[in-house]
Structure 1
Amino acid sequence: MIKKIFGFLFSPLLLTLLALIVVALLIWWIGPLVKIGSLAPLEGEMTRAIVIGVIVLIVVLRALYRRWRARRASQHLTDGLMKAPAAAKTGAPVDGEQKILDTRFSEAVATLKQMRLHAAGKKPGWRDWLSISGGSYLYDLPWYVFIGAPGAGKTTALVNSGLSFPLAEKFGPGAIRGVGGTRNCDWWFTDEAVLIDTAGRYTTQDSHQSEDKSAWEGFLGLLKKARPRRPLNGVFLTVSVGDLLSQGPEARTQLAASIRARLLELDSKLTTRLPVYVLVTKSDLLYGFTDYFDDLGKEQRAQVFGFTLPADENVQLEEKGLSAAFHREFGLLHNRINDGLIARMQRETDGTRRAAIFGFPAQFGSVGPLLSDLLEQVFTGSRFAQPPWVRGVYFTSGTQEGSPIDRVMGSLARSFGIERALLAPQKSSGRSYFLTALLREVVFPEQRLAGADVKLERRRNTLRLAGVAAMTLVTVGLLAAWGYSTWQNNNYLKSVEARVEPAQKTLAALPTRVQNLVEVAPVLQGLRDIWKTPDNRQGDEPLSMTLGLYQGDKLDAAAMLTHQRALNDAFLPQIAKRIEDQLRTAQKDNLEFTYEALKSYLMLYQPERFDPEALKAWITLDWARNLDRGIPEDQRKALEDQLDVLIAQGPPRSPLKMDENLVRSVRAVLASYPLEQRVFSRLKRQRATKDIPGFSVAQATGPSGPLVFERISGKPLSEGVPGMFTYDGYHKRFQNEVVVLTGLLAAEDPWVLGQDRNASERLRDAAALGALTDRVRRLYLEEYVKQWEALLADVRLIRVSGLEKNIETARILSGVDSPLANFLRAVVKQTTLIPAADANKDVVSKASETVRNTRKGLEDLFGSDPGKQVAPGKRIESIVDDRFESLRRLVTAGGPNQPAPIDDALKLFNEVYVYLNAVDTAVKGRTSPPPGDVAGKLKSDAGRLPEPVRSMIENLSQTGATQAQVAERGNLSQDLRPVTEFCSRAIAGRYPFVQSSKRDVLPEDFGQMFGAGGLMDDFFQKRLAALVDTSTRPWRYKPVAERGAVTTQALAQFERAARIKDIFFRGGGRGPSMRLDFKPVEMDAGITQFILDVDGQLVKYAHGPVVPMAVQWPGPKGSNQVRVQVSPPSTTGSSGSAMDGPWALFRTLDDGQLEAGDAPEKFFITFQVGARKTRFEVTTNSVQHPIRLKELREFSCPEGL
């Protein structure tokens, strides 16, 4: 009873209700006392009621959420059981095994999905529905698994456990569709726990190892998926007494290894530590067990017979380990049996049973060593793995079947060699021993002893700790923030207070001390910003001073009032004084300036005339023009900020007295200022047609316009003429605005100029008649013409490089949808202000129009009669139409079905296009370009067209011709590549072009390269001769267009090649030739004979008559040998030298000492052999000879043109 009372007092429902009542009372009575600055958020009763209601709603929603979450967890669990994971893909047997396992619990799970389990199987009561945690769902029940060897008594223990099975009515008292031997897992659902009976072969895995292992791992995966946080609450390890007594050491060791492996797999796969409850089943097989405990009643048979080790694993295994703990506890059990032996024997009358009872303590004691050995092997730790956690050892008996084993008598029989008598089988009594209390009072109450999934719990604990830490930090942070905000605001108020007194002194002295606005602005800004600190310099609330405590807004309002008074006392007088000075110094010929200054001045004294935009524009314009250029931009910005504040207050009232005499004198000057000019200036300043889209070249020409046009000024094509100066701007807006604005300024003039009422009325009459409006129109139309002339002069064709781009430009311009034609038509449309029908009517009245124009000029000189109307039918718009008449005729057809002259202009662009295409074809085909007079003809034809068409055609054709020749020159460079490649192989790096080279240019290659009609000569004559001016030295390309003559390095090589051809290949031959006449001049006395043998042609001299001897190169024999020999040989044994190769003669001459002769065709050569010399005079067959020709040394293969 007391337990129920305490359970009710400390139930979650009651505690929650009490907590809500306490919170509600605190909010209702203490809430009005809580203030944040001047704010009391809980002062109103309705506010407090709402806060209490919200808190109650949150608690209720939280309870409902937790109940929904528990139901969802149970639902997910049952769904997970129904969708048990498939077995590993190890073969068909495993798949069949897994299907059997799934089928076994699927029917039970389907039934449990609709059930909610409670104690004793009762339906949920009102406490369950109102409690925060709710009743016990399937997910909330503890889960235990039974493992053990086959036939160890797992199923028997469950059947006789004394637990309540709510599904028994539907599925019977046994397991869910279980079969004897439980080859597969059976599921036992009770009111207090879910018990899973696994097949014994899952533990031993001795029948089909791969199949059993896969099914076991699939079973663990099912548990992990169904209950991720705490898959199991414990493990029941069943050990049969029969196995202990019948197995030998090897079998027991093998069994212990299998059990240990399964327990370790449970811990590792489920990532948790599970308590293991060792159930020694079939204890009735101990001879005398049934007889000894036969007199126990039902409650006594339900008690625990065994021992529970300490929950702390370190304590239970300290000092001597598990073996010592087992022997100690087992000894206590054994002693307990011995202690009750005498009393039990006295109560038994049957002699056979008394004998069995007497022997039972010995029988029980014989099991201890065997069980100790098994547990030691299973639960002993190692260096590599933490041992399973044994929680306790308990002896049970589910049913009494089979023949008991008399281990004592068997041992004696073996000792004496006598035959042991077999004991008769027991008859089942239907009673279980020592199971019910074990489950309900020992195992189930400590269901949370099992650790949850380590990784999952660590993650959940981390999130939980993070949430608590975040809430703590937020709470501490808010308290700290409020404290810091209070401290900051106090410091802020002190800092502002410290600046108030100096500011008051500065303000008091300001009007007399300050001389100009530049000095006034920072002082005024300081007054405005007196409430600001470094923390709120931008006027924003600093985060450290908020949370309802910020005082800056109040100080800002006070500072603003002080600042406004200072503006009126110090800033405004300076403004008024400046405008007054402008009026005094205004030049008489600048009447517009004087008028605006007077108007601004009067605004300061006539509040009803105040125009904030006009006043600000005038003052800022004056600052921009007259303030010192050295004043920094930030000071200028400060001035403008002060002006904005002054104007924002409303019409300013200057404290200075207005100078009436000055106003009268200025008004007298302005009386002669034309009103129409002021109207037009106002129209432009106010941008009366700002909503009318402007004209742009890009829009008029279409998408192809930007491909061919650009602005000379660099402005984009998207900019053009403002909308004010377009056809729509004139007809849709200007025509109306000019009338309205003329009337407005006519009304403004009386108070600005101080006119009398009659003059004002006359002015309004004149405006109504249109005379003033027409004069404004004339100013507008003249500006209209300037705008469009400037645009036309600023548009030109894009300057492009490359022949293909110019061809594309000509193609686009000559097309059907030519952007040029579109552009000109759009321009004509915008510059034709008189509609076509009205223009036809106006033809008849040309003479009348001339008279009216003459009269208008006289009226402008002498003034018109205000009361006289303007003659009807006047077309002042002809100012624009006549200026662009030539363009209009260009785009206007002469009659129906007749082309417009612009079509002929586009044909000229087509001719340019054809011409440039011809040039391109010639360049690509390596043929001659079209005649150069085509560009001249196009230029002549374009001269008859108006601008800008004329300039576009001339520039395009001329630029195209220039680029055509440049492009052709570039193609020549590509055509030159075969020549260059041959030259690189046959000429480059060889003698005679490189004097030190050991390799000679072959005569045939030399002729192919430099001979008449050779590679260099042929290329020059066919491709370059027409482009090169050979009359100059060095050669140059002929001037192209307006570019000067240009020379290149490659062209210089062609000039050298021509020189080589002229010298080596006289007469146009393909082979080089040369004739030399050798005439001895002197020879050392030590030489008796000198011989020069050039391919069999001998030049001999032996101190005889001087006779010239001719040598022809190449020689007649073709031996390509040259030999120099003297007689007698020198003292060193040398008698001369010899050269081989086609250029042997040139190499021999290079070895000699050459001296110039007295004529170009003569030179001296000295041959030296040893210390002796022979000198000859050599005469060539031409003044242009190849001996040491500089063109040979300077020549290199041409790389490009």
Structure 2
Amino acid sequence: MQKFLSLLFSRRALAIVGVLVLALLVWFVGPLVSFDTLRPLASVGSRVVTIALLLMLLVLWLVNWSMSIIGISVLCLAIGFVTPLLALGDVHPFAPLWVRLTLIGFILLVYALYGLYRLWRALRMDEQLLRRFLHPRGEEVPVAGEIKADLRTVNHIVTQAIRQLRQLRVDMPGWRKIFEGKRFLYELPWFMVVGSPGDGKTTALLNTGLQFPLAEQMEQTSRILTVPGGGTLHCDWWFTNEAVLIDTAGRYARHDDGGEASAAQRNAGEWQGFLGLLRKHRPGAPLNGVILTLNVADLTAQSPAERLAACAALRARLAELRETLGIRFPVYLVVTKMDLLPGFSEYFRTLTSHLRAQIWGFTLPYSRRRKAGDPQALHAACAQELARLTLRLDQGLDTRLQEEYDLKSRQRLYTFPREFAALGEPLLEAIEQIFLDSKFDATQLNNTLRGVFFTSAAQAQADAVADQLSIWQRFVRAIKTARGESSTSLPHALPDGNRSYFLHDLLTQFIFREAHLVEPNLQWAWRYRLLRLGGHLLVLVLAFLLWQGMQTSQQTNGDYLNEISARATRLDGDVKAYTGKPAMAPVPALLDSARELSAWPELDPDAPPLTWRYGLYSVPPVTDSVASLYNRLLDQLLLPPLVKRMEYVLADAIARQDSKAAYDALRIYLLLNLDKDHEDKYNAAEIQSWVINDLGNSDSVAGFGGRAAVLTHIEALFDGSRVVHSPYEKNEALIRQARAFLDGHTSTERIYARALAAMESEAPQEFTLVRAVGADAGTVFVRSNGAPLDRGVPGIFTREGYRELFDKRLPEFVAAATANDGWVMGRESTPKKLTDSLRSQIPGRSSLSPAKSAVCT
């Protein structure tokens, strides 16, 4: 379950989910995103291309390939589709297609040349890659297959180490972990231990007294210390709470150590591959320092030619580290197996564990700048420091002789200062050969040697005599020569103790604390600085654009609000003047001013330009307030005369004995005087139709200045968005008078007319000659009354309308019309006898039957 949760919330899973969410946003929200009038994701093609780029970005990130392909693609797309919008004054330099194609071609050419340059560098540094490139179908050298197998093993080791480092607790906020996902790689310093086979590198690391918190490494440490030997196969990663130590195999340092040419080639390929993995996973600073080991046995037993070959190999490895990793790092030269010098154990056996943990050696100044000086300066400085160490040993010799009672032990410790002094000559030669300053090495800015230190991790039953010129050593060599034995070979050194001398503080108090001395990869550092500079510039540009946009928006919205305020002040004065002297003539002008109060040239309130936005857009509250003000003015200025007009029309219809006009006026009047329980009966369309018809059939609009002046305001008043109520009390006397007048007239025709009006929305199309004959009907037929041929019999009066609608659903519509009529006439319900009478009268009356009406027509 834990593995499943770790996989579910891994960076890869979160990246996949994030890309999917972005793709969904691009597809569904992208068409709504606009920059002023530009909608870059409005078309399906642009969204598909954007989603494809997101998916390509995800794939490149998952396989750890270069992201530059995405950058180049986005840049070319921007040049193709965005640059035509750029202008310098009235000139659009990128509008011509050939200009954009030329610029895109130039960018692709530069990118291709850069890729060829990278390929040339890779081929120059990797001989195997060059061979495969020149002979892609040639026979594969067996060594190449072995190198691939070794590199797979090394890659697995490095991947496991990186996976272990991911578990490192990094003390930083959660939001920074998203943007600094590889911070864990730089949380602890990395130090590589490099040395020839048999230098005791692993033994030295395990006997330093460092704590390895991982359980599997505890077991591995115990196993190695219990059963020594075997050496490091490839590279072992040792994790402490202070640093990461990379223990490399001895064959990494000496590719041709006693082996064949194929083995040397295999070791070199594995070493280069290992360095490439380090640079790939930790490009900023693959290492913080190198611990270079030399063992006393090699220094004392090797001939000058052998020592030169060994030093040349170590010098080459350091140069490859600097060149491949692209960094400059301090080198700590550690002389191991000091216990092989005669008298070492006896001289230092009285030291406590605290004293044995201290540092024995000397440091050299480390400068970040190249200093021109004497090429022999390093040799002289090291010789001077070794002389001081020898002098310190001589000064403590008398005290140690007095403390030691065993004669044999006193003899051995007495020779130790001389042996140490004799060790200085081969050591100085090795230092000079490894760290000699070279004007032909561009990666070695100056001497990178930080210090020379002497250690012993375990004691062996063997001696490595450094003073070969003493009388006793001459006598021993002469006897060995007479017997035919080698005078320089050492017997097999079996461990006789596991005391560590001068190791613990060297690592914890000195080397680990100098992790900052490394100079990071210059290319990576410049790229990182360039990205940071670009990011800062981008932030500054965005901040400037935001500031400028806010300034523009503030100015635009401020001008708008000032103008609206001035208009509102003028409107308020006009309304007050109207209130003091009411009249119908000024009403349309006042309503026009109120309706246009929030209007602004070239401004669409629902889609404002970008210059109005930036969080300062103030139009919506103004338009809402203006709409509310306009509705109030409609209710206060326009509605009262319309209600008075209805009362006048209703009274006039009663006086003229016009039942139809009286009924229509009464119904509209009642719709404007509904109580809350009957607001569901409100029908704005009927009110608007009646008012507009009344305006067209009378002189009621004369006071407003004509029909056109007030028509739009009437449509706005009765647009159905709200229930409009009469501003006056309901005239009950007039209503009773109208109902009494209508009660004296039959309701059959009235209800029939209401039923037909309700059927019109569901009736079939009109029957016309144009539909029956065709477009050429006008060449043969003409209507006697001069009406156009595209006007004919209403659908309700056709055969289909009569049979399918009128005849079948007449009771339904009659019942609805009867109920509505009962509400207008003030009756709770229409008597059943009246309803049955109406149903029986309608089909039988020639003036009401649709079939007969159609025939008459």
Q: TM-score range by the shorter chain?
A: 0.5 to 0.7
**How high is the TM-score relative to the length of structure 2?**
0.54
Check 1:148–1:622 CA distance in 2 against 1; reply closer, same or farther (3 A cut): farther
Check 1:467–1:723 CA distance in 2 against 1; reply closer, same or farther (3 A cut): farther
Is 1:650 matched up with 2:650? no
The residue type paired with residue 511 of structure 2 is V
Check 1:214–1:695 CA distance in 2 against 1; reply closer, same or farther (3 A cut): farther
The residue type paired with residue 716 of structure 2 is D
CA contact (8 A) 1:379 1:388 kept: no
Partner of residue 205, structure 1: 255
Is 1:278 matched up with 2:333? yes
Check 1:712–1:172 CA distance in 2 against 1; reply closer, same or farther (3 A cut): farther
Partner of residue 572, structure 1: 639
Offset at residue 221 of structure 1 (A)? 5.7
CA contact (8 A) 1:366 1:407 kept: no
Check 1:276–1:467 CA distance in 2 against 1; reply closer, same or farther (3 A cut): same
Is 1:613 matched up with 2:685? yes
Offset at residue 145 of structure 1 (A)? 2.8
Whose RCO is larger (CA < 8 A, sep 6+)? 2
Superposition pairs for residues 881-900 of structure 1, below 5 Å? Answer: none
Offset at residue 146 of structure 1 (A)? 2.0
Partner of residue 313, structure 2: 258
Check 1:625–1:307 CA distance in 2 against 1; reply closer, same or farther (3 A cut): farther
Partner of residue 501, structure 2: 433
Superposition pairs for residues 766-785 of structure 1, below 5 Å? Answer: 766-771=837-842, 775=846, 778-779=849-850
CA contact (8 A) 2:436 2:447 kept: no
Is 1:314 matched up with 2:368? yes
Structure number with greater Rg is 1
CA contact (8 A) 1:743 1:767 kept: no
Secondary structure in structure 1 of the residue aligned to 2:224: coil
CA distance in 2, matches of 1:571, 1:506: 15
Superposition pairs for residues 92-241 of structure 1, below 5 Å? Answer: 143-158=190-205, 160-163=207-210, 167=217, 172-174=222-224, 179-180=229-230, 182=232, 184-186=234-236, 195-206=245-256, 207=259, 208-220=263-275, 232-241=287-296
CA distance in 1, matches of 2:569, 2:599: 16
Offset at residue 179 of structure 1 (A)? 4.1
Offset at residue 598 of structure 1 (A)? 4.3
Moved more, 187-196 or 296-305: 187-196
CA contact (8 A) 1:280 1:393 kept: yes
CA contact (8 A) 1:334 1:361 kept: no
Check 1:212–1:722 CA distance in 2 against 1; reply closer, same or farther (3 A cut): farther
CA contact (8 A) 1:746 1:763 kept: no
The residue type paired with residue 770 of structure 1 is Q
The residue type paired with residue 769 of structure 1 is S
CA contact (8 A) 1:525 1:642 kept: no
Offset at residue 614 of structure 1 (A)? 0.9
CA deviation string 1:810-858 (max 9, x = no partner): xxxxxxxxxxxxxxxxxxxxxxxxxxxxxxxxxxxxxxxxxxxxxxx9x
CA deviation string 1:225-272 (max 9, x = no partner): 887887655422113455456667776665455334433544565566
Partner of residue 503, structure 1: 571
CA contact (8 A) 1:379 1:389 kept: no
Offset at residue 314 of structure 1 (A)? 1.0
CA deviation string 1:694-714 (max 9, x = no partner): 899xxxxxxxxxxxx99889x
Offset at residue 277 of structure 1 (A)? 2.2
Check 1:776–1:339 CA distance in 2 against 1; reply closer, same or farther (3 A cut): farther
Larger relative helix fraction:
2
The residue type paired with residue 435 of structure 2 is E
The residue type paired with residue 651 of structure 1 is H
CA distance in 1, matches of 2:270, 2:194: 14
The residue type paired with residue 441 of structure 1 is Q
Partner of residue 403, structure 1: 464
Moved more, 237-246 or 109-118: 109-118
The residue type paired with residue 205 of structure 1 is H
Offset at residue 152 of structure 1 (A)? 3.6
CA distance in 1, matches of 2:300, 2:826: 137
Partner of residue 590, structure 2: 523
Offset at residue 212 of structure 1 (A)? 1.0
CA contact (8 A) 1:303 1:438 kept: yes
Check 1:474–1:499 CA distance in 2 against 1; reply closer, same or farther (3 A cut): same
Count of paired positions: 648
Secondary structure in structure 1 of the residue aligned to 2:368: helix
Secondary structure in structure 1 of the residue aligned to 2:849: helix
Offset at residue 616 of structure 1 (A)? 0.9
Partner of residue 370, structure 1: 429
CA deviation string 1:164-194 (max 9, x = no partner): 5665657745279974454544565667655
The residue type paired with residue 151 of structure 1 is G
CA distance in 2, matches of 1:147, 1:675: 115
CA distance in 1, matches of 2:235, 2:826: 116
The residue type paired with residue 198 of structure 1 is T
CA contact (8 A) 2:598 2:622 kept: no
CA distance in 2, matches of 1:274, 1:624: 98
Partner of residue 14, structure 1: none
Q: Which runs of 5+ in 2 are unaligned?
A: 1-127, 133-139, 178-183, 676-680, 768-772, 778-791
Is 1:641 matched up with 2:727? no
CA distance in 1, matches of 2:528, 2:513: 24
CA distance in 1, matches of 2:527, 2:707: 61
Partner of residue 338, structure 1: 391
CA deviation string 1:371-414 (max 9, x = no partner): 3422334887834676795443323344453431326669x99x
CA contact (8 A) 2:640 2:726 kept: no
Partner of residue 884, structure 1: none
CA distance in 2, matches of 1:496, 1:342: 99
CA deviation string 1:320-341 (max 9, x = no partner): 3896466436523422432442
Secondary structure in structure 2 of the residue aligned to 1:616: helix
Q: Which residue, out of 348, 357, 360, partners 2:401?
A: 348
CA contact (8 A) 1:724 1:730 kept: yes
Offset at residue 278 of structure 1 (A)? 2.0
**How high is the TM-score relative to the length of structure 1?**
0.41
Check 1:303–1:573 CA distance in 2 against 1; reply closer, same or farther (3 A cut): closer
CA contact (8 A) 2:692 2:711 kept: no
The residue type paired with residue 147 of structure 1 is V
Superposition pairs for residues 958-1107 of structure 1, below 5 Å? Answer: none
CA distance in 2, matches of 1:268, 1:383: 9
Partner of residue 734, structure 1: 806
CA distance in 2, matches of 1:435, 1:770: 122
Superposition pairs for residues 550-561 of structure 1, below 5 Å? Answer: none
Larger relative strand fraction:
1
CA distance in 1, matches of 2:539, 2:243: 37
CA distance in 1, matches of 2:227, 2:526: 39
CA distance in 2, matches of 1:769, 1:371: 130
Check 1:538–1:223 CA distance in 2 against 1; reply closer, same or farther (3 A cut): closer
CA contact (8 A) 1:244 1:370 kept: no
CA distance in 1, matches of 2:286, 2:227: 23
CA distance in 2, matches of 1:505, 1:104: 89
RMSD, aligned α-carbons: 7.1
CA distance in 2, matches of 1:654, 1:171: 101
Offset at residue 506 of structure 1 (A)? 1.0
Check 1:178–1:779 CA distance in 2 against 1; reply closer, same or farther (3 A cut): farther
Q: Which runs of 5+ in 1 are unaligned?
A: 1-86, 119-123, 697-708, 714-719, 786-856, 858-878, 880-1201
CA distance in 2, matches of 1:510, 1:635: 17
